Amino acid sequence: MATAEMNPLSISGSTLLYPVIGYPVGQVKAPMLYNQLFAAIGIDAVVVPLEIAPADFPRVGPALFAVSNVRGAMVTIPHKPACVDFLDAASAAVKAAGACNAIVKRADGTLFGDLFDGIGFVSGLKRAGVEPKGMRCLVVGSGGVGAAIAVALGEAGAASVGVSDINTDSAARLAGRLTSFGVCREAFVATNDPAGYDLLVNATPLGLKESDPLPVPVERLAPGTVVADVIMKIDFTPLLLAARERGCTIHMGREMFIEMAPLYLSLFGYDGYTSDGIRKLVGYKD
């Protein structure tokens, strides 16, 4: 795509920065997608990775936003919960999930945070023809992504959201927030047994390494269950392969990533883009 090519001269003194902040950052895919998008659209901005160790984050994270041409950021593992501490204002999703993956510096210099994993995930489901309204959902993993997805499923009208985590305290805290913020009709701590749910979401890193165990006992999956994975690095994770084998509908992690693009663009002040339009711009293959 000729329009998406970027001349190195296109980074100049006037270029705005939207860093993607994490630890580590070697695996992040945001620079590839967003820099291609910025070039295609004609936005003088660049996404660069910033790797900040957790111990340094409370000092370095807020300092970054004092850089005039840093106008916002994408936040990834493990800083999604910690960045909430220095926001001036936050969306309901951030408050309910206790995590933030999108920060914008507003005109007055204050920082507003949002959380797009969940809404991006639900948007991807709907695009694939899966309507979460009324569904009984099991979210395995109660970290930043799991929390975001649980909140979004609740907000999308899920009948119930079970939260499973080997850290049961973490699962209990999330289930408590889902209930107390009124985002879920019914939220509870669950085991990782997927029987009896309409939708299973793996929001753990299990599946990234070949030696990983499956996040749930797949023999308990009923055909017809929708099984989604948040892992982006691998399209067909062992969980998704096993689920497909059992006659389940499967949903890949990368859908969530591309569905977040119009949300990030809009937060950063670039309105009017749809995920389908963005798919076309970057030549994304379904």
User: Which letter does DSSP use for residue 136 in this model?
Assistant: E
* 50 and 70 Cβ atoms separated by less than 8 Å: no
- From the list 36-44, 124-132, 143-151, 176-184, the region that binds a copy of itself by CB under 8 A is 36-44
Q: Which one of the listed residues 80, 126, 233, 280 is annotated catalytic? A: 80
Cβ closer to a copy of itself: 26 or 272?
26
Tokens describing residue 22: 């994490």
36 binds a copy of itself (CB under 8 A): yes
Cβ closer to a copy of itself: 50 or 151?
50
Cβ closer to a copy of itself: 46 or 175?
46
- Single residue of 41, 43, 63, 192 touching a copy of itself by CB under 8 A: 63
Looking only at residues 198 through 237 of this chain, which bind a copy of itself when binding is defined by CB under 8 A? none
Q: Which helix (H) or strand (E) holds 275?
A: helix 275-282
Which is nearest to 142 in space by CA: 154, 130, 151, 133? Answer: 151
* 194 and 221 Cβ atoms separated by less than 8 Å: yes
Q: Which helix (H) or strand (E) holds 89?
A: strand 89-90
Helix (H, G, I), strand (E, B) or coil at 61: helix
Tokens describing residue 60: 């370095």
- From the list 34-42, 114-122, 248-256, 269-277, the region that binds a copy of itself by CB under 8 A is 34-42
Interior/surface letters 237-266, b for 16+ CB within 10 angstroms, e for the rest: bbbbebbeebebbbbbbbbbbbbbbbbbbe
Cβ closer to a copy of itself: 9 or 107?
9
32 binds a copy of itself (CB under 8 A): yes
* 76 and 21 Cβ atoms separated by less than 8 Å: yes
E runs forming strands in 142-281: 160-164, 187-189, 199-202, 226-229, 249-251
- Single residue of 8, 42, 223, 272 touching a copy of itself by CB under 8 A: 8
46 binds a copy of itself (CB under 8 A): yes
Which is nearest to 226 in space by CA: 133, 96, 120, 155? Answer: 133
- Single residue of 2, 3, 9, 216 touching a copy of itself by CB under 8 A: 9
Tokens describing residue 272: 């009017």
Per rule CB under 8 A, count of chain residues that contact a copy of itself: 44
Amino acid identity at 153: L
Active site residue 285: no
- From the list 1-9, 91-99, 157-165, 258-266, the region that binds a copy of itself by CB under 8 A is 1-9
Cβ closer to a copy of itself: 56 or 219?
56
6 binds a copy of itself (CB under 8 A): yes
- Single residue of 3, 44, 54, 68 touching a copy of itself by CB under 8 A: 68
Other C-beta atoms lying within 10 Å of the C-beta of residue 2: 5
Question: Active-site positions?
Answer: 80
Contact footprint for a copy of itself (CB under 8 A)? 4-9, 11-15, 17, 20, 23-29, 31-32, 35-36, 38-39, 46-53, 56, 59-60, 63-64, 66-70
